[in-house]
Amino acid sequence: MRLCGSTLSLTILSLVFCGRLACCLSPLDLKLAGITGEKLNAQFEALAALSDTPRPSVTRLVFSDWDVKARRLIKDLMRDAQLKVREDIMGNIFARWEGAEKAAVMSGSHSDSIVLGGAYDGDLGVVGAIAAIKALRVEGFKPQKSIEAVMFTTEEASRFNVPCLGSQGMTGYLNDHTLDNFKDENGSTFREAAARIGYRSSSNQELLRKAKVDPAAVAAFVELHIEQGPLLEKEGIDIGIVEAILAPSLLTLDFSGSGGHGGGMPMSHRNDPCLAASELALKAEQAAFSTKAFDTVVTTGIWKQEPNIFNAIPRNVHLEIDVRDTEGDRRDGVIQQIFEAAEEIAANRKCNLTKEIRYAYPIAKSNPTVLGAIQQSADKLGLSSKKLISRPYHDAAFMAQIAPTAMIFTPCKRGLSHHPEEEISLKHMVDGVKTLAYTIAQLAGSAAPSQAKSEL
């Protein structure tokens, strides 16, 4: 078929116009039709099958055989979205879409789980980021800033008893003490376990140096996550806009006494560390209530005593207490109250006491620009939204220390998380990922036609 001159000119003009229109699409004009609940759920189910325990639970500890398989699946999803995949020395995985500017808008979460956890904690943010970026590419959006999806190594504390190691390494919060002293049940350090699956470093110093990112390379960070609480579902709200993340700390306290036979030792001769620890647990609760702040929470989560039999007075009791708040000074005041109470109790009961702050992480305040982008995205989709705080800690809390950051929450059924019955509806999956996609697009900005790189 031959085209006349006017028809040919019109055809060329149409192609040029359509190409420019695709480049210049306003982020909120995109349709995001490629994001569907069926596609997302199939990916979640594929990840959930990679588990040490059967469904509905998910058990996938970092650097386990199942974690290695999950990493392969996630990298396949990244490549399917036509993103350039790389990994760092800690096992953090990045998938990049190059924009006109090098600084990247980043989004992601983690794929490791606790023992007998659920299918969506962390995975929603990883799968969701990849799906959001893929949808933007399919619709012809051209980013001004580069865009990266990220899967953080070992957000959960399940294996090494310390959370967010990957994001700590990226943001410069990781240190020799943590790398050397937090070990798994086999006595392996993070660096030793990482080396077994190919993430090798010759020293802590090499790992810390190579893992750290340049803050100037991160234009913004946004993390999608299930709420892990009941508020959104209870109030019928579609999207949670996270204004702050509670700053956690971990205290360890050890009481020791003489012990003795439960029948032979008179009550008046005892210095029972179990009773000292019991008193302290109640004092820790009182310290939390003393602030009169809704956001102060204290949990005596680990209790180990030796011997642990019914007819012997314990000789040693080990406690681990989690203290969280949205205000650092208030949290630190609670820690001081707990330590002072422990000293008084130990003196009164004639027990020996050792105590330590194992970590005290920074508070994360969300960035107004990122919050505004999330709000506009939810509004564009006609979704109800609510500003709230996150009591659980997330990789976003460390990213907030180096870049403008905020989080998007979706409801989860009955507020359950870290639980085999963790669940999210298909609608809320789609709502969350579309909100994320619009947010990423707004933060990255649309490149001018001359700046947009050809996909051909």
Report the helix count and the strand count for the chain, using DSSP H and E: 14, 15
Do 220 and 77 reside in the same domain of the chain? yes
Asked which of 360, 381, 399 is the last residue of a domain, the reply is 360
Answer yes or no: is 156 within a domain.
yes
Asked which of 360, 379, 399 is the last residue of a domain, the reply is 360
pLDDT value of position 452 = 44
Tokens of 99: 């924009």
Do 222 and 257 reside in the same domain of the chain? no
Query: What is the rounded CA–CA span in Å between residue 367 and residue 403?
Result: 9
Mean pLDDT of 377-395: 96
Tokens of 32: 């995001």
pLDDT digits (tens, 9 = 90+) for 148-205: 999 999 999 999 999 999 999 999 999 999 999 999 999 999 999 999 999 999 999 9
> With contact defined as beta carbons under 8 Å apart, do 60 and 420 qualify?
no
Q: What residues have CB less than 8 Å from 310, skipping those under 6 apart?
A: 262
pLDDT value of position 9 = 41
pLDDT value of position 448 = 62
pLDDT value of position 5 = 45
pLDDT digits (tens, 9 = 90+) for 390-428: 999 999 999 999 999 999 999 999 999 999 999 999 999
Answer yes or no: is 456 within a domain.
no
Query: What is the rounded CA–CA span in Å between residue 368 and residue 364?
Result: 13
Mean pLDDT of 208-233: 98
pLDDT value of position 8 = 41
Q: What residues have CB less than 8 Å from 57, skipping those under 6 apart?
A: 51, 116, 117, 118, 420
**Which has the closest alpha carbon to 322: 300, 339, 337?**
300
Give me the CATH number covering residue 343: 3.30.70.360
| Greater model confidence, 368 or 22 | 368
pLDDT value of position 247 = 85
- Give the CB-side neighbour count of residue 359, counting CA atoms within 13 A: 20
Mean pLDDT of 318-329: 95
> With contact defined as beta carbons under 8 Å apart, do 290 and 335 qualify?
no
> With contact defined as beta carbons under 8 Å apart, do 439 and 134 qualify?
no
Could you tell me the CA-to-CA distances from 323 to 81, 230, 320, 330, 357 in Å, in that order?
41, 21, 10, 10, 10
Answer yes or no: is 172 within a domain.
yes
Could you tell me the CA-to-CA distances from 1 to 5, 10, 15, 156 in Å, in that order?
13, 16, 19, 63
pLDDT value of position 447 = 86
Confidence class of residue 95 from pLDDT cuts 50, 70 and 90?
A: very high
Q: Position of tokens 């012997």?
A: 312
Residues forming a β-bridge with 94: 86, 150
> With contact defined as beta carbons under 8 Å apart, do 334 and 325 qualify?
yes
Which runs of E-coded beta strand occur in 332-399? 352-360, 364-365, 385-390
What range defines the domain where residue 263 resides? Answer: 247-360
Mean pLDDT of 34-45: 97
Mean pLDDT of 42-59: 97
Given a cut of 70, whether residue 26 has pLDDT beyond it is yes
| CA dihedral for 31, 32, 36, 39, sign (positive or negative) | positive
Number of domains in the chain: 2
Do 252 and 237 reside in the same domain of the chain? no
Do 349 and 372 reside in the same domain of the chain? no
pLDDT value of position 449 = 55
Do 167 and 308 reside in the same domain of the chain? no
Give me the CATH number covering residue 216: 3.40.630.10
Do 151 and 282 reside in the same domain of the chain? no
Given a cut of 90, whether residue 209 has pLDDT beyond it is yes
Do 225 and 269 reside in the same domain of the chain? no
pLDDT value of position 24 = 53
